[in-house]
Structure 1
């Protein structure tokens, strides 16, 4: 591991590499992960074989499954769960506070992204559930649940197709 800071209470799995200037505390990081530079992770649980790009913030009470990729400049707020094999593209943002800045954690809502879903660049995800293998288009603003295998795009995001259509 290179120069990084683990403030306290963090377990790092074997084979995990952490880049320079990354702050991690009160977290569990799985095996064989790659955490790039300038990240801020606190109170998060990350599974095995994950990649977290540069300049990412992941807040407390986030659960990330195995083999997930969270690309650079993304923001994953509290109460987000990414199941296994989820892809979050560059600059995607999650929102848990529908009436910001409430500052009242009791009013924040959760988001669940199911296995194999992919979220496009600069998408904004409000508190919803995104189904298995769903695709969220670049720049989409997701305000409602997305069914499994659905492709959504736009603001607000609407279903434009399904990944299993031929």
Structure 2
């Protein structure tokens, strides 16, 4: 892209629309036709792809990636290292209507926005829809095309409509495999975990 630099050292395409009252962190890249609304705060070293939308007051942590045409509506909060795939939608209205019962057009005063929270390291696959209010746990993975209607535990892999847990994933993003000792292990890093109810707990191994 043809780039311009703001005072924070962010690289913003001339065709992007970044409100003067938004904050974009050092090293962040905002690509063609992306829009960042007033009061939004984007952290350091993020990537906002073509046509991505970040609503007013949305908070995005450091090292996040919002792929092409991701729609992140307020009051969403994304912690550090979050991946949001192409055409993902975060909703913000539990009971959407264009008009009130009397037929008048709804205004900002006629509804209460609710947000999606995504914890550190989680990934949301392409064309998924997260129905607010929900929280996506740390290092969780939402499979492409899923519709998330309830909270997702840390490290969970969820898929489907509505999304259901189908497994567990490690910090490297690879599904965990069950070992002979009953633990779940990452095939890349060797990190070990144990299921405790509906949660995954990291196992600290002591060297012999």
- Whether the TM-score (by the shorter chain) exceeds 0.5 is yes
Measured in 1, the distance between the counterparts of 2:69 and 2:145 equals 14
Alignment partner of 2:152 out of 146, 150, 154: 146
The match for 1:17 is 11
Structure (1 or 2) with the larger CA radius of gyration: 2
Measured in 1, the distance between the counterparts of 2:2 and 2:23 equals 18
Q: Is residue 2:64 matched to residue 1:68?
A: yes
Q: Is residue 2:57 matched to residue 1:52?
A: no
- Aligned partners of 2:2 and 2:14 also within 8 Å: yes
Q: TM-score, with normalisation over the residues of structure 1?
A: 0.89
Task: List gaps (5 residues or longer) in structure 1.
Answer: 5-10
Residues 125 and 140 of structure 1, relative CA distance in 2, 3 Å threshold: same
Q: CA deviation at 1:20?
A: 2.7
Measured in 2, the distance between the counterparts of 1:12 and 1:123 equals 34
Task: List gaps (5 residues or longer) in structure 2.
Answer: 98-105, 171-175, 178-208
Alignment partner of 2:128 out of 106, 123, 148: 123
Larger relative contact order (Cα-Cα within 8 Å, sequence gap ≥ 6): 1
The match for 1:137 is 143
- Aligned partners of 1:117 and 1:130 also within 8 Å: yes
Q: Is residue 2:29 matched to residue 1:31?
A: no
Q: TM-score, with normalisation over the residues of structure 2?
A: 0.72
Q: Report how many aligned residue pairs link the two structures.
A: 159
